[in-house]
Structure 1
Amino acid sequence: MTEITCTCCLTGEEEEEMKHLFTAYDVDENGMLELDELQKMFANFNVIALKEDIKAFFERVDTDQDGTVDYDELMAYIEEIMGEKSTSEEVVDAFNLIDEDGSGEVSHQEVAVAMQKADVGIPAEDIMYLLEEADLNNDGTISFSEFRSIIFGL
């Protein structure tokens, strides 16, 4: 059974991923994301959102209102939403329900079986695609942080 001790914090690995993503989309390398850079990030992650929604998100994250989002602002936002959402006992309970062997990680097979039992109406090949996308470190299993990312789209 998975125990979550610091749900509002990113793991070192997750923070490194965030730094890498931030710098990858900081095209002009000024240490800040402008609205157009954020829009490209959303597009590359196939996030379907209106420009107005992306702009509203940008304004929400741009806490100093300087027209850019720096790494600290982005991390503060991520920490805030993870602190709000990832403490949900339902997410932990769902993960533990799928993690039938109690290993703290779920195999692609465990997730596929759970989704079939839940009769979510998603074809098996689409489920496998989602699992491959969710398995960020390609180890064949989904950790709680990867699972949380699926649930909250982080």
Structure 2
Amino acid sequence: MNQINPDQILSSEEIKAAKDAFEAYDKMGYGTLEVEELQKILEEFGHKPSKEELQQMIIQVDVKNKGFIDFEDFKRAIAIYKIIEEDNEEDDTLDAFVAMGGNADKSGTVDATKLIQIIKSDFKMTIDIERLINEMDRDKSGQISYQEFKNLLSD
């Protein structure tokens, strides 16, 4: 993961927000932050990395174990966390797909009728789930593939 190019992973808005946060925490203007501040900054952005995730980021960005990071290291840490979050989201989606009847290798399908029932009855949601499923079920089979399921959850 050390070969990550944060400029390819982060949007220009995310880079600007990272720069603003970095500068706000770099009170002395040295161009560095203590690695311990990384967690505080992430939490300010609404992220709550686990100890393991935080440790993984620190290992990746503070490779010389200096105890501080510069802005490029900071951007890399943010990019690493973004990748970790996306992986966690993918895992959650796959877990839900499997719980609904799909397979862990992303094969199989989920019955659209069962999905509608669960969303309306168990979760008591009032969204127009029939319309959403109809839009996602491109082949109109009444069976939702993993990709269709993932698209449904991301909309």
Q: Which structure: larger Rg?
A: 2
**Higher relative contact order by CA 8 Å / sep ≥ 6: 1 or 2?**
1
TM more than 0.5 = no
In the superposition, the TM-score normalised over structure 2's length comes to 0.39
